[in-house]
Chain A
Amino acid sequence: MSRYVVRRLLIAVPVIFGISLVLFTILALAPGDPFEELATNPNVPPEVRMNLRAKFGLDDPLPVRYTRWLTSMLRGDWGFSFVSRVNVDTLIVQRLPTSLFVLGSAQLLGLLIALPIGTYSALRPYSVFDQVTTTFAFIGFSLPTFFTGLVFILVFSLWLDWLPFIYRADISAAGWRWWWEHARQAAMPVAVLGLFQGATLTRFVRSAVLDVVRLDYVNTARAKGLSERATVVKHVVRNALIPVVTLVALQIPGIFTGAVITEQIFRIPGIGSLLISSILANDTPVIMAITFVFSCLVVIFNLVADLLYGWLDPRIAYR
C-alpha cells in the first residue's frame, strides 16, 4: 500500500507542473500589460516604467519568466493583492477554510442521499420507488445551482423567513448559539450544492449497483445464508463503490463550478467569491493564485480518490 501511495504522489507532481504550464501560457498569451495603468498615468515618466519592467523581468524570454513564476509560486511567494494591499497567500488562507467547510458538508450530504437511495432503487429496479427517484435525480441534475439557490432564497428566506440568506464569518454569539447560527446560515448553500451532487451521484450508484447485483458471488453470498443486509453492505455496495469513486473523481473539477456560484449567491466569504470580486476589480495576482489553488485542490482530491480506490480494491494497490 505505501508503495502505491508513493507512486500516486509521484504522478501528481507532473500534473501540477502541467497545470502551472497551462496557467502561465494563458497569462503570457493574454493581451494587456500589468503596467498599462502606469503608461496612462502622466505622473509616471516612461523611463521609470521601463525600469520597473526591467526590474520585474517582464522583458525576459518566456522560459525564464515561467521558471521564476513557478519557483516563487512553489516557495509560497504569491505576490501582493493590488486591491486589498495584503499578501495573496494570507488572503487565501483566511478564506479557504470556509470554502472547504461548505464544499465538504455538501459532498457529505450528497453521499448520504445518494448511497442509500441509489442502492435501494437498484435493488428494486423499475419499481415505483426506483422510477420516482430516477425522475427526481434527472430533475436534480438538470437544475442549475444558480437557479436552485435563488429559489431557495425566495422560499426559505423571503417567503417563510426561516433562514438567513447572507453568510457571515463573524458571528458574535458563543457556545451552542454560535453552532446554531452557523448551521442555519450554512443550511441553504450546503443543501443547494449537496442536492445537486446527490442527484448526480444517485445515478452513478444506481447503475454501479445494478451491474454488481447480478453477479454470481452475490448469489453465492445469499445462498450461503448471509442476511440480506450483510450481502448488500459487504458484498454489493463495497464493490459497486469502485466505479463510483472513479466517477466522483472525474466530477471534482465540476464541483468547484457549483461552489463558486453558491458562494456568490449566498455571499459566503470563501475563495470562490474572492475570485469573482478580484475579477471585477482586475486584481490579477489574486485571480492567478486562486485558479492555481483550485487546480491544486483538484489534484489533491483526485489523490484522495486514488487512495480510496486502493482501499476499496486492494488488487489495484498491489498491481
Chain B
Amino acid sequence: MSVAAAPAAPLLSAGSARLSLWREATRRFRRHRLAMIGFALLLVMVAAVLLGPFVYRVPINEIDFKAKLKGPSRAHPLGTDDLGQDLLARMLYGGRISLAVGVVAMLISITIGTGVGALAGQLGGVTDHTLMRLTDLFLSLPQLPLLLLIVYLFRDALKKTLGPEAGVFVLIVAVIGGLRWMPVARLVRAQFLSLREKEFVEAARGLGAAPLRQVMRHILPNAVGPVIVAGSLDVAVAIIAESSLSFLGLGFPPDIPTWGRILFDAKDNLDFAPHWALFPGTAIFLTVLSINYIGDGLRDALDPRKVLGGK
C-alpha cells in the first residue's frame, strides 16, 4: 500500500468519470429533438438581440408621424408604433433587457436556493427546521401581488440612487430572484440529505476532509444536475414575470422597450395595429417555449432517475 498513490488514483478516476458523465449527458440532450430545436431557436434569439442592433442600425426612438401604426413594410420589417418608431429596432433592444432579466434573476434564485438548501441539508437540526419553515412560508406568498407591492414601495428610492434604467433593473431582478429560490432550496436539501450518507462522502469524511471541503468538492458537484434543470426553467419564469410587470405598466419605463412594455403600449391599439402586439407577444412565447423545451431536454440528460421513474 503506497501512501503516495492513494490520493492520486481516485482523483484520476473521478476526473475521467466526470468527463464521460458530461459526455453522456450531452448525448442524451442531443437525442431530445425538440430540446435541440429550442436550443437552436434560443441561440438565434440571443444572437439577434446581441448582434442585431449592430447590423440593423435604425434608432429605437426616431419619431416619424407620417409612418405611424403602419404594418410590416420594407422600410419597417415589423411595422411601427403610434409614434412611428421602428418596432424591429425596439424589439431587438428590448429583447436584450428581457433576456438579461431572465438570466440574472435565475442566477440570483439558484444562488440563494443552493445556499439555503445546502445549509439546511448539511447542518440539519434546528437550522434545517428553521430554514425549511422559512421556505414553506415563502412558497405560500402570492408572487405577483407581492412583486407589485415591493416594486411600488421601493421603485422611487432605487431610481434616485441608481438612475431610472439600472434602478428598475436591479429592483426587478432582485425581487423576482428573491421570490423564486424555494424550489431550488428544497431540491438541493433533498440531494444533500441523500448524498451526505453516500459511501464516497463518508470516505472523504473518513480521510479527514473538513466539512467545507466535503460540501464543495464532493456533495455540491453531485447535486448540480437538478439545479441546472430548475435554473433553466427559472429563466422562463423570470422572463414571464418581468413581462407581466411591464405589461401592467409597473415595470420598465416607456423609454426601455422590453417586450412586455411594448405589449403594454400596444394593447389599446389592438383594433388598428394588431402587429404591434403580435410581434413582441410571439417573441416572448417563442423564447419561453424554447427555454421550457431545453429544460425538458436537460431533465432527460441530467436527471436519469427521473427518466427511469417516469417512463
Q: Which positions in A face B, CB cutoff 8 Å?
A: 15, 18-19, 22-23, 26-27, 30-32, 125, 138-139, 141-144, 146-147, 150-151, 153-154, 158, 207, 210-211, 250, 253-254, 256-257, 260-261, 264-265, 275-276, 279-280, 287-288, 290-291, 294-295, 297-299, 302
Interface centre among A32, A260, A295 (most CB of B within 10 A): A260
> Nearest A residue to B182 by beta-carbon distance?
A250
User: What separation, in Å, do the CA atoms of A253 and B250 have in the docked complex?
Assistant: 20
B140, B250, B309, B310: the one contacting A298 at CB < 8 Å is B140
Tell whether, in the assembled complex, residue A142 and residue B289 are in contact, meaning their CB atoms are under 8 Å apart.
Answer: yes
A291–B146 CB distance below 8 A: yes
Interface residues of B in 289-311 (CB under 8 A from A): 289, 292-293, 296, 309-311
Collect the chain A residues with CB atoms within 8 Å of residue B250's CB. Answer: 276, 279-280
Tell me whether B119 is interfacial, beta carbon within 8 Å. no
Q: Could you list 16 examples of A-B contacts with CB < 8 Å?
A: A32-B153, A138-B296, A142-B292, A144-B288, A150-B263, A150-B266, A150-B267, A150-B270, A151-B278, A210-B311, A250-B139, A253-B141, A261-B247, A279-B148, A294-B142, A295-B140
Could you tell me the distance between the alpha carbons of A287 and B151 in the complex, rounded to whole angstroms? 12
CB-based nearest B residue for A159: B274
B139, B140, B148, B282, most chain A CB atoms within 10 A: B140
A150 touches B281 (CB 8 A): yes
| A15 near B140: Cβ-Cβ < 8 Å | yes
Please classify the interface of chain B as helix (H, G, I), strand (E, B), loop, or mixed, using the class held by over half of its residues: helix
Contact of B285 with A142 in the complex, beta carbons under 8 Å: yes
| Interface 9-residue window, one of B10-18, B194-202, B216-224, B236-244 | B236-244
In angstroms, how far is the closest chain B Cβ from the Cβ of A201? 16
B105 interfacial contact with A, CB 8 Å: no
Contact A291 to B142, CB < 8 A, known contacts A26-B153, A147-B281, A261-B244: yes
Min Cβ gap A210→B in Å is 7
Cα(A298)–Cα(B244), bound, Å: 20
The reply on B65 being an interface residue by CB < 8 A is no
> Which residues on A sit within 8 Å (CB–CB) of B282?
147
How many residues of chain B get a CB closer than 8 Å to chain A's CBs?
A: 49
In the bound complex, residues from chain B placing their C-beta under 8 Å from that of A22 are: 137, 141
- B144: CB under 8 A from chain A? yes
Bound CA–CA A141/B295 (angstroms): 13
| In contact, A287 and B152 (Cβ under 8 angstroms) | yes
B150 contacts chain A at the CB level, 8 A cutoff: yes
**Could you tell me if B142 and A26 are in contact, using CB atoms closer than 8 angstroms?**
no
Given the known interface contacts A27-B153, A32-B156, A298-B140, the answer about A146 and B243 at a Cβ–Cβ threshold of 8 Å is: yes
Closest B residue to A155 by CB, please name it: B274
Query: Which residues on the B side are within 8 Å of A254 (C-beta)?
Result: 143
Whether B143 lies near A253 (C-beta < 8 A) is yes
Residues of A within 8 A of B149 (CB): 23, 26, 287-288, 291
Contact B240–A144 (Cβ < 8 Å): yes
List residues of chain B with CB within 8 A of the CB of A23: 149
* In the complex, chain B residues whose CB is within 8 Å of the CB of A139: 289
* Residue numbers in B under 8 Å from A288 (CB-CB): 149
Once the chains bind, are B247 and A31 in contact (CB under 8 Å)?
A: no
Q: A125, A153, A295: which contacts B142 (Cβ < 8 A)?
A: A295
Instruction: Pick the residue among A15, A146, A279 that contacts B137 (CB under 8 A).
Output: A15
Query: A26 near B288 (CB under 8 angstroms)?
Result: no
- Given the complex, which residues of A lie within 8 Å of B263, measured CB to CB? 146-147, 150
A92 to chain B, nearest CB (A): 13
- Expressed in whole angstroms, the Cα–Cα distance for A19 and B149 within the complex equals 14
Within 8 Å by CB of B267, from A265, A275, A302, lies A265
With contacts A30-B153, A142-B288, A144-B240 taken as known, whether A260 is within 8 angstroms of B145 at the C-beta atoms is yes
Quick check: B154 and A30 within 8 Å, CB to CB?
yes
| Contact (Cβ within 8 A) B153 A153 | no
Which residues of chain B have C-beta atoms less than 8 A from A265's C-beta? 267
| Contact call A275/B145, Cβ cutoff below 8 A | yes
Say which residue of B145, B153, B247, B271 sits within 8 Å of A294 (CB atoms): B145
- Chain A residues with Cβ under 8 A from B260's Cβ? 146
Q: Bound complex: CA of A150 vs CA of B273, how far in Å? A: 12
Q: Taking the nearest CB of chain A, how far is it from the CB of B151, in angstroms? A: 8
Are the C-beta atoms of B137 and A18 separated by less than 8 Å? Answer: yes
Tell me how far the C-beta of A251 lies from the nearest C-beta in chain B, rounded to whole angstroms.
11
Alpha-carbon separation in the docked complex, A147 to B279 (Å): 10
Given A146-B263, A253-B140, does the pair A279, B274 have CB atoms closer than 8 Å?
Answer: no
Q: Mark B157-177, 1 if CB is under 8 A from A, else 0.
A: 100000000000000000000
Given A32-B153, A260-B248, 9 additional A-B pairs, CB 8 A: A23-B149, A31-B153, A153-B270, A154-B274, A154-B278, A250-B139, A261-B247, A264-B248, A280-B249
Nearest CB of chain A from residue B45's CB, rounded to whole Å = 14
Chain B residues with CB under 8 A of A275 = 145, 148
Question: Which chain A residues border B142 with CB–CB below 8 Å?
Answer: 253, 256-257, 291, 294-295, 297-298
- Assembly CA distance A190 to B16 (angstroms): 54
CB of A75 to closest CB in B, whole Å: 22
